[in-house]
């Protein structure tokens, strides 16, 4: 049914629901919230130039260097692994999009970005603002009684300051002939080919940084938690790395091909802890029939990734973290389950025409870091200095639009 809805009917189910918050914040220029139509197509075409499978391979040296830097940070300061993972995620997105980076985990740019992301999650998430899209008159309530408007205005100002500053740094480099081949340099020069004005180019950079920071960091933070929670899985994955990669050389992306158990761990984590548990809601752009039901034009359509991964008809023991299921069947499904609609890209990346454009870049980040972490480190819970006992970590998530690992 999900496939029929998002893929067979992708021409009419790739819209985004009406959102006054998104209209105020982005005026239709940000990719993830842009309405389905010519502007979205141009933004998506530009994103493809940066994030296609081939283009993503060109970002591997950046990912390798940032991953090595993250491992050094963890070695020096293991207690702050959560922050070091955040730095990795932000720095890779910044490098590929703006040709900039965050060298240290205490860089104020990181904290500011994650604070803005949280504010955005809250504003667009359930209950974040009154139902102005349903009861249009609510939009006319003056700002002094409608705090969501003030929140939108302050977030917009923060985002503009943050991302225009990154564009300015890029322009400075361009004017002093210190080009570093970043995507933003290209977009500022060639934006006309995608009908993207110079003044609006920062919105697409924002899409990449906002879309790529929390998601990548959360996946890797959950990965660490999951390894701590499942010592048998950890031992098996580390044994496999030792056997295949050995101790002399640091893992390379190509090694993944020979690491079937780790590939299964990665797929199982996408199922067990999808970082976007309800994706980003789609909307029907015209009346659409799916499975005999009418989805009227304008209806919000949610791909409930979390629930799909927990369907008992599809997965044995869906509440358990069992990578082995992906060794016995391609999509981790139980024997006899209907495989229609399952494909190579995990459903955690969404579906149809709006599927995450960065799934290759993100998957490379996940694979490289998972291999490196398992290869380089032992995973142990922190110890209470007074009692010497292990301090358990809170493995629950805090779910906004993106599901976050609690700080550890």
- The residues that touch ligand HEM, with contacts defined as CB under 6 A, are 31-32, 44, 93, 207-208, 211-212, 215-216, 219, 275-276, 279-280, 282, 303, 348-351, 354-358, 361-362
CB of 137 to ligand HEM, least distance (A): 29
Q: Tell me the C-alpha distance between 42 and 319, whole Å.
A: 41
Cα distance between residue 213 and residue 209, in whole Å: 6
Q: Among candidates 195, 278, 245, 231, which has minimal Cα distance to 29?
A: 195
* Shorter beta-carbon distance to ligand HEM: residue 73 or 218: 218
CB of 146 to ligand HEM, least distance (A): 27
- State the SS3 of 303-315: CCHHHHCCCCCCC
Q: Name, in order, each residue with C-beta under 8 angstroms of 145's C-beta and a sequence gap of 6 or more.
A: none
The least distance separating ligand HEM from the CB of residue 191, rounded to whole angstroms, comes to 17
Q: How far is the CB of 51 from ligand HEM (least distance, A)?
A: 6
Distance of closest approach, residue 242 Cβ to ligand HEM, in angstroms: 26
- Structural contact between residues 102 and 83, judged by C-beta atoms closer than 8 angstroms: no
356 annotated binding-site participant: yes
Q: Which is nearer to ligand HEM, 308 or 355 (CB)?
A: 355
* Tokens at 74, concatenated: 């963890």
User: CB 385 → ligand HEM: shortest distance, Å?
Assistant: 35
Segments in 79-142 forming alpha helices (H)? 81-98, 108-124
Residue 218 or 240: which CB sits closer to ligand HEM?
218
User: Rounded to whole angstroms, how far apart are CA atoms 4 and 313?
Assistant: 18
Q: Which is nearer to ligand HEM, 251 or 279 (CB)?
A: 279
Please spell the DSSP secondary structure of 311-329, one letter per residue: -TTTSSSTTS--TTHHHHS
Tell me whether residue 97 or residue 233 sits nearer to ligand HEM (CB atom). 97
8 Å CB contact between 61 and 41: no
Select the residue whose beta carbon is closest to ligand HEM and give its number: 350
Q: Which is nearer to ligand HEM, 204 or 245 (CB)?
A: 204
Q: Yes or no: say if 64 and 72 are a contact pair by the CB < 8 Å rule.
A: no
Shortest gap between Cβ of 47 and ligand HEM (angstroms)? 6
Q: How large is the greatest C-alpha to C-alpha distance in the chain, in angstroms?
A: 67
279 backbone φψ class: left, alpha, beta (φ>0; ψ -120 to 50): left
Question: Residue 149 or 306: which CB sits closer to ligand HEM?
Answer: 306
**CB nearer to ligand HEM: pick between 309 and 357:** 357
- Chain centre to alpha carbon of residue 198: 26
Helices (H) then strands (E): counts for the chain? 15, 6
- Burial level of 52, CB count in 10 A (0-12/13-18/19+)? middle
How far is Cα 153 from Cα 349, in angstroms, rounded to an integer?
30
| Closest distance to ligand HEM from the beta carbon of 215 (Å) | 4
139, two tokens:
């939009």
Binding residue ranges for heme: 356
Known binding-site residue numbers:
356
């Amino acid at each position: 049914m999900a496939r029929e809805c998002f893929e067979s009917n992708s021409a009419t189910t790739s819209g985004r629901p009406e959102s006054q918050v998104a209209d105020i914040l982005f005026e239709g220029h940000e990719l993830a919230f842009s309405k389905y139509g010519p502007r979205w197509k141009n933004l998506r075409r530009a994103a493809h130039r940066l994030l296609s499978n081939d283009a993503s391979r060109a970002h591997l040296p950046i990912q390798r260097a940032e991953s090595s830097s993250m491992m050094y940070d963890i070695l020096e300061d293991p207690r702050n692994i959560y922050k070091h993972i955040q730095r990795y995620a932000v720095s890779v997105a910044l490098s590929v999009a703006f040709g900039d980076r965050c060298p240290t985990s205490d860089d104020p740019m990181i904290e500011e970005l994650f604070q803005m992301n949280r504010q955005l999650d809250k504003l667009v998430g359930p209950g974040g603002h009154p139902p102005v899209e349903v009861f249009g008159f609510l939009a006319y309530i003056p700002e002094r009684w409608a705090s969501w408007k003030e929140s939108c205005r302050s977030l917009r100002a923060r985002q503009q300051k943050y991302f225009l500053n990154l564009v300015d740094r890029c322009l400075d480099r361009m004017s002093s002939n210190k080009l570093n081949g970043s995507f933003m340099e290209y977009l500022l020069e060639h934006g006309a080919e995608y009908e993207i004005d110079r003044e609006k180019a920062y919105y697409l950079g924002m899409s990449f940084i906002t879309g790529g920071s929390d998601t990548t960091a959360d996946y890797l933070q959950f990965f660490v938690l999951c390894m701590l929670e499942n010592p048998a899985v950890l031992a098996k994955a580390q044994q496999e790395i030792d056997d295949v990669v050995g101790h002399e050389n640091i893992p390379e992306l190509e090694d993944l091909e020979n690491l079937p158990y780790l590939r299964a761990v990665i797929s199982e984590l996408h199922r067990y802890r999808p970082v976007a548990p309800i994706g980003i809601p789609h909307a029907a752009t015209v009346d659409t029939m799916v499975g005999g039901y009418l989805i009227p034009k304008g209806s919000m359509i949610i791909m409930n990734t979390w629930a799909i991964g927990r369907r008992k008809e599809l997965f044995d023991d869906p509440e358990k973290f069992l990578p082995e299921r992906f060794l016995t069947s391609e999509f981790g499904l139980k024997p006899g389950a209907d495989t229609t609609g399952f494909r190579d890209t995990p459903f955690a990346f969404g579906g149809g025409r709006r599927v995450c454009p960065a799934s290759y870049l993100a998957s490379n980040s996940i694979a490289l870091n998972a291999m490196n972490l398992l290869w380089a480190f032992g995973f142990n819970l922190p110890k209470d200095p007074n009692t010497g006992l292990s301090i358990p970590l809170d493995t629950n998530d805090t779910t906004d639009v993106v599901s976050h690992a609690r700080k550890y």
